[in-house]
Amino acid sequence: MNKNFVNFMRKYAGHKIAVAVSGGVDSVALLHWMAEIARGDIVCLHVNHGLRAAAETETQYVRDLCKGLNVPCHVFYWDGEKPETGVEDAARLARYKMMTDFCHENGIEFIATAHQADDQIETFLMNLGRGSGVYGLAAMRGEGLMNGIKIIRPLLSVFRRELRAFCDSRGIRYFSDEMNDDPHYTRVRIRQNRHLLDEKLGISDERILTAIENLGRVRGERELNLGALVRRVVRGNRAVFDETFLFDLGDDIRLKFIGTIIRRIGGDRYLPRLDSLLRATEMLRADCKFTLGHCTVRRLHGQILVVPEGEKTSFRKKHGKKYIQKFK
């Protein structure tokens, strides 16, 4: 068993944890490791999206696997009509909704997912290709929050080759998704060509993971400061601040700052897309009014206002001080 996994899980000892298991090698290995160290404090959650012919076969396999490990297993079915476009994102949202609802109903605080080191590196390289700043390049977090439930990723320092070797050496069966080999997807093309970074440039996977960890620490420090900044300008369902407060921030902090405010006031799950935030900050250099992320954003005479879309964009409503002083 990988020592990084063991060290990560120490802080969760004694807690009831749900383990998301698809039937692929990563989640199957995770379930075995969790069953070994948790000693009865885990439950398996499996979602059958009904999108592939083998879905029911995989579901039955997960049931049988859990029975052999003496782990309770709960299966959820994504019923109803499926969207014609964006089906992967819709399936992901449905999956997490079903799993987090179950956890709320059963007093479970944590869901463990099987995202591993290869996933982390691929996410980093995808975000690098998009021109992301610190927040994107720091990739996935070891612990996040989804619908009020903490999502933990104990395998982010474990490579898939170790998980596959673990299963293969013990004759543990697992399934492979054909989409993982489809070069139509950017992530798959990165996966198939990532070895060239090491072979041609000497940039090893381990070096990339080290860079991601360093960026994660920087992100954490900045988010502590960012949270304080957002709390200073948001009152209820509106935010008002001086334009100098926004444009004295560094580029990546500026985007995260305005994006966080829009997400909080608009109620969306995610920040607006990077290109939308870039356009928004450019527009905010002059008097303007526009909508983004279910919010209306207005700049007038050097002050910036963010309110839910459809509400009046008046600066006259009391908001503590008239405006927030220049950021120092």
Pure H helices in 170-273: 186-193, 195-201, 205-233, 243-247, 251-266
Higher-scoring residue by pLDDT: 147, 26 = 26
**What pLDDT is stored for residue 68 in this prediction?**
95
pTM equals 0.75
- Sequence-distant (≥ 6) Cβ neighbours of residue 59 within 8 angstroms: 23, 46, 48, 75
**What pLDDT is stored for residue 131 in this prediction?**
83
**What pLDDT is stored for residue 145 in this prediction?**
84
Three-state secondary structure call for residue 191 = helix
- Which pLDDT band holds residue 320 (cuts at 50, 70, 90)? very low
What percentage of the chain exceeds 90 in pLDDT?
Answer: 60
Please give the Cα distance from 12 to 239 (Å, whole number): 37
Q: Is 324 a residue whose pLDDT tops 80?
A: no
Question: At what angle are helices 117-129 and 186-193 packed, to 10 degrees?
Answer: 110
At the second CATH level, the architecture of 3-198 is: 3-Layer(aba) Sandwich (3.40)
User: Is 323 in contact with 309 (CB distance < 8 Å)?
Assistant: no
**What pLDDT is stored for residue 317 in this prediction?**
56
User: Is 296 in contact with 310 (CB distance < 8 Å)?
Assistant: yes
Compute the Cα dihedral for 236, 240, 246, 248 and give only its sign.
negative
User: Where exactly are the structural domains of the chain?
Assistant: 3-198, 236-328
CATH fold for domain 236-328: 3.30.465
